[in-house]
A = this chain, B = another copy of it.
Amino acid sequence: MNYEFSDKVTGLQPSAIREILKFTADPEVISLAAGNPAPEAFPVNAIKEITSKLLETNPVAALQYSITEGYTPLRESVKKRISAQGCFDPDADELIITSGAQQANELSCKVMLNEGDTLICEAPSFIGSLNAFKSYNVDLVGVEMDEDGMNLEKLEAALKNAKKPKLIYTIPNFQNPTGLCTSLEKRKAIYALAKKYGVMILEDNPYGDIRFAGEDIPSIKSMDKDGIVIYSGTFSKTLAPGLRVGFVSAPKPVIQKIVVCKQVSDVHTNIMAQIICDEYLRNYDMDAHLKEIRGIYRHKCGLMLSEIDKNFSKKITVTRPEGGLFIWATLPDGCDMMSFCKTAVEKYKVAVVPGTAFLINESDKTNSFRLNFSTPTDEQLVTGCEILGKLSKEMFG
């Protein structure tokens, strides 16, 4: 049979990350290519206690069909928590639980954009979201990143020139893949531009809770007086990603549409996982837990940066993130990034992700690659950076 697939998926390819990650199945490969939280950051004992008690006292609630909007007590817990951060306004907003922030971001695109409308995003950006948007046949326009977030002139040009721009997608805190943080000034400017051009903002904040240096910067959602910001978050980086529990806070009419789309997507999110998150928020000390895991990431990021400083060719520049999971390394023009990444994994068994994986078109040019410090052990971080450093000096001097 010669299958004729929909236009939505014919252009979607398994990403270059997946190809690189195939090498990481080899146990001898040191992977600095993943995006997994550190397993030692999972609150395993608490999850064990909660699950055991739940299945003892109320198994049916944990196993029966539930409502699409999510487990009501968890919705209340999350509303309370993010209200304190200015990300939920009970008068204007509603909040539902999603199957990870991935689903929140995908459904936000589905409800707001028709095929052929334009979604404006940071370039580079999180490949999972870019592919979600592409799967609805929307046009993606990337806006180059400065050190403090999207270049505003290029953002305004995109808003002016794009065909039916509807949504700006941004990860303002410790962006994946660059680790960059959008400054307060730029957050205000992005909000003002969205308002001026009548488009909405999708603010994706998976990493905000794992800031390990510097001061918190107010979210764009906290500036939302006009009902134009959709805000997504997740427990993937604070509790555990395998739970697949995220959430989305947005103006009530937007949430109503997202609920209908979530219902047809997976009916509801795994209910046991939702109860685990809620019990954790109610009966354990989330803030103490965050303090602990921030310590883990502070250490790992610091270790990787010091190993990079010690070992890498001086031609390579890197971002110095204050949170999140990633460092973005850039080679000067004339150096072959792709050849470096391929040689590193094929010959020396150290995997990083070529920056092209995070562009709207993988054929576009970048001389950067992404390093992850959350998944590897300290020993792997040191050895991996030594090997990459040696190779970088060999190749680039």
| Residue of chain B at shortest CB distance from A135 | B264
Option from B5, B36, B63, B110 in Cβ contact (under 8 Å) with A242: B63
| CB-CB contacts below 8 Å: A103-160 with B | 103, 106, 110-115, 117, 128, 131-132, 135
A253 at the interface (CB under 8 A from B): yes
Binds B, one of A39-47, A284-292, A303-311, A333-341: A39-47
Option from B14, B36, B110, B227 in Cβ contact (under 8 Å) with A135: B110
Cβ distance A336 to chain B, nearest Cβ, rounded Å:
29
Q: Residues of B contacting A253 with CB < 8 Å? A: 3
> B9, A36: Cβ atoms under 8 Å?
no
- What is the total number of copies of this protein in its complex? 2
Q: Residues of B contacting A395 with CB < 8 Å? A: none
A360 at the interface (CB under 8 A from B): no
A343 at the interface (CB under 8 A from B): no
A361 at the interface (CB under 8 A from B): no
Binds B, one of A174-182, A184-192, A254-262: A254-262
**Residues of A contacting B: mostly:** helix
- A5-B111, A115-B115 given; A60·B47 CB < 8 A: no
A266 at the interface (CB under 8 A from B): yes
Binds B, one of A79-87, A208-216, A267-275: A267-275
Option from B35, B106, B110, B244 in Cβ contact (under 8 Å) with A8: B110
Binds B, one of A48-56, A316-324, A376-384, A385-393: A48-56
> A64, B36: Cβ atoms under 8 Å?
yes
> B9, A110: Cβ atoms under 8 Å?
yes
| CB-CB contacts below 8 Å: A320-366 with B | none
A12 at the interface (CB under 8 A from B): yes
Query: B-contacting residues of A (Cβ < 8 Å)?
Result: 1, 3-9, 12-14, 34-37, 39, 42, 44, 47-48, 51-52, 55-56, 59-60, 62-66, 99-100, 102-103, 106, 110-115, 117, 128, 131-132, 135, 166, 226-228, 236, 240-244, 251, 253-254, 257, 259-261, 263-273
